[in-house]
Amino acid sequence: MQDKIVVITGASGALGRVVAARAAALGARVVAVDHAAEAPPGLAEALGEHGLIRGGVDLSDAAAAEAAITAAGSVDILINIAGGFAWETVSDGEVATWDRLYRLNVVTALNACRAALPHLVASGAGRIVNIGANAAHKAATGMGAYAASKAGVHRLTEALAEEYKGRVTVNAVLPSIIDTPANRKDMPDADFGTWVTPDELAEVILFLASDAASAVTGALIPVTGRV
């Protein structure tokens, strides 16, 4: 990954920070994109002198996504981590939640992909890695809107993989519950030892982004932790 230009959306989040730091440690030039205006402590240092942070970017706006991607100059790898979650039952929830999660999970990835694809094709070894969800295979109570939006990410991944076969690889990683401080706070009685860690996810994501994964495209890879 030495000197590859890697754009990571959602780079200020718990998973994004880990992926960005690991990519930079492998020699990549990381462009960290996030909706948050301010980067979390330590991110700039982890990216090093060749890193670039683009905060305050609304990726659900196509023009904003285009501007953020263009700032990278060229792109070899796009990792779409930006997204959102809400637990809400169908009967008691709001239609607005379905709209919001669709924009946060599907539209952000779509806009970033569309903006990056010309650069990825020009790279000659372009990679896209999206973040889907294992929960999208079978939605549990309260997971309808989230699962539907992540299923959209899965279909986006498959469609792009077919469209760009032989030019850009497009894959998705499907986590179960990620071991983050926010999830531990929301589910204090859960068995955290069965959750997948950001470090474990980062390993799979960066493999799919590497030259070693040149023959893998259209894959939806569950990463479910220890059961």
**Tokens standing for residue 94:** 């709001």
Residue 225 near residue 195 (C-beta atoms within 8 A) = yes
Instruction: Measure the CA–CA gap between 186 and 166, rounded to whole angstroms.
Output: 43
Instruction: Measure the CA–CA gap between 82 and 102, rounded to whole angstroms.
Output: 12
Residue 7 near residue 72 (C-beta atoms within 8 A) = yes
Q: Which residues contact 136 (CB under 8 A, 6 or more apart)?
A: 147, 148, 150, 151, 153, 154, 174
Residues taking part in catalysis? 146
